[in-house]
Amino acid sequence: MLGVTILVGFYFLGYVLHGAAHIPLPANVIGLILFTVCLFLKLVKLEWVEDAGEFLIKHMLLFFIPFVVGTMVFFHYIGVYAVQLLVSLFASTAGVLLVSGWTVKLMNRKGEKQSDSR
């Protein structure tokens, strides 16, 4: 129960900071960043939140139910625009893969040049 309390506390802390400081990030992301920082600084011990995290991961499928129900509302539009959706899905996936691959290739070349010059 302590782990859930800690996780919810960090969520609400992120919510308060988001509202008070007008940080341009979602409240849950702010809370997650604060939680991660506290884990690294050993202010929160992993053992305190490990059971709660395992429970949430085990039941993660439940968190996607609202998304699936929302998709069903727009099912007609998905059918009408299926070709456009599939083309944009595959094109964007291919684009990300190409750009990522080229970036890694470029970074490897720079790393090899630096190691050769030493």
Residue that wins the pLDDT comparison between 105 and 114: 105
Q: What pLDDT does residue 117 have?
A: 66
Q: What pLDDT does residue 86 have?
A: 93
Q: What pLDDT does residue 71 have?
A: 81
Residue-wise pLDDT for 52-82, tens only, equals 999 999 998 888 888 888 888 888 888 889 8
- Burial (CB < 10 A; 0-12, 13-18, 19+), residue 92, is exposed
Average pLDDT estimate for 38-55 = 94
Q: What pLDDT does residue 91 have?
A: 97
Q: What pLDDT does residue 36 have?
A: 95
Residue-wise pLDDT for 8-37, tens only, equals 999 999 999 999 999 899 999 999 999 999
Instruction: Supply the DSSP symbol for 63.
Output: G
Q: What pLDDT does residue 61 have?
A: 86
Q: Looking at the predicted structure, is the pLDDT value of residue 118 above 70? A: no
Two tokens, residue 115: 């190691």
